[in-house]
Amino acid sequence: MLRMQNLKMIYRTHLVETHALRDFSLTVAAGEFVAVTGPSGSGKTTFLNIAGLLEEHSEGVYEIDGVDVRGLSDDARSRLRNQKIGFVFQSFNLIPDLDVYDNVDLPLRYRGFDRAERKRRIELSLGRVGLGSRTKHYPSELSGGQQQRVAIARALAGDPKILLADEPTGNLDSVMARGVLELIEQINRQGTTVIMVTHDLELARRAQRNVHVVDGQIVDLDASAPRVVARRDGHAA
């Protein structure tokens, strides 16, 4: 579970004080799929960076599975992030000189898994995203949708409890975007908590719950909106 209570994020210079998040409170239960929307500059990216332990908040409480992250050392934050969180970004962030296998392998090496365990995780995660036969391909040899699937496989290989997706379909056409979102929905149904930041309200409606952020504050918590499910013909049901 992820819990934020009265969170504030303040950026200070000698002239300006900017409140990126203001009294931001949000609880996401294990296994939920939550979409976070809002205009540019609303605080969505700041929220995601704090949720992913890439930035430390200024005030308030942030807990992951009951662990208060405030004041943790850099090493402790890194361990918690590696154990609990996977990231998927709009720009894929694949290394062009590495093939698919090695792109997924690299973060596992940093975590110290032995060769056999890395191989097991890589094959499993690439199989889950439908790219088990593309291990020797390079990013330039893949479509945008396939590159995003590699990025998702890389995140899944770490067996995260929480998947943070930042505009995961932003660089894709509508057909590729639908395929990637269906994959994320499938991952969620298998038990992974998903928090997706998106500007696309139609995609957001596919989540179980929508959170709208304006000027660093949650202005709408919608737990009752129906989740849109795609039929095999690609239309909403």
Q: How many CB atoms lie within 10 A of CB 83?
A: 14
Whether the per-residue pLDDT at 234 is higher than 50: the answer is no
For 13-103, strand residue ranges (E) read 17-28, 33-37, 59-64, 67-68, 85-89
Q: How far is CA 175 from the centre of its chain?
A: 21
Q: How many CB atoms lie within 10 A of CB 145?
A: 18
Domain 31-42+73-210+217-222 has CATH 3.30.56.10: no
Sign of the C-alpha dihedral computed for residues 41, 47, 48 and 50 taken in this order: positive
pLDDT tens digits, one per residue of 207-220: 999 999 999 999 87
Sign of the C-alpha dihedral computed for residues 219, 48, 96 and 82 taken in this order: negative
Instruction: Say what the pTM is.
Output: 0.86
Report residue 85: phi and psi, to 5°.
-125, 135
State the pairing for strand pair 85-89/162-166. Answer: parallel
Q: Are 190 and 156 in contact (CB under 8 A)?
A: no
Q: Which two tokens stand for residue 229?
A: 């499910």
What does DSSP assign to residue 15?
Answer: S
Complete edge-to-edge strand list for the sheet that includes strand 162-166: 85-89, 162-166, 193-197, 33-37, 209-214, 217-222
Burial of 191 (0-12, 13-18, 19+ CB in 10 A): exposed
pLDDT tens digits, one per residue of 93-141: 999 999 999 999 999 998 889 999 999 999 999 999 999 999 999 999 9
Q: Which two tokens stand for residue 133?
A: 């036969």
pLDDT band at 163 (very low <50, low <70, confident <90, very high): very high
pLDDT band at 222 (very low <50, low <70, confident <90, very high): low
pLDDT tens digits, one per residue of 10-66: 998 878 888 999 999 999 999 999 999 999 889 999 999 999 999 999 999 999 999
pLDDT band at 203 (very low <50, low <70, confident <90, very high): confident
The CA-atom distances, in angstroms, between 114 and each of 98, 104, 118, 119, 120 are: 19, 14, 6, 9, 10
Q: What is the model's pLDDT at position 201? A: 85
Separation between Cα atoms, residue 195 and residue 28, nearest integer Å: 9
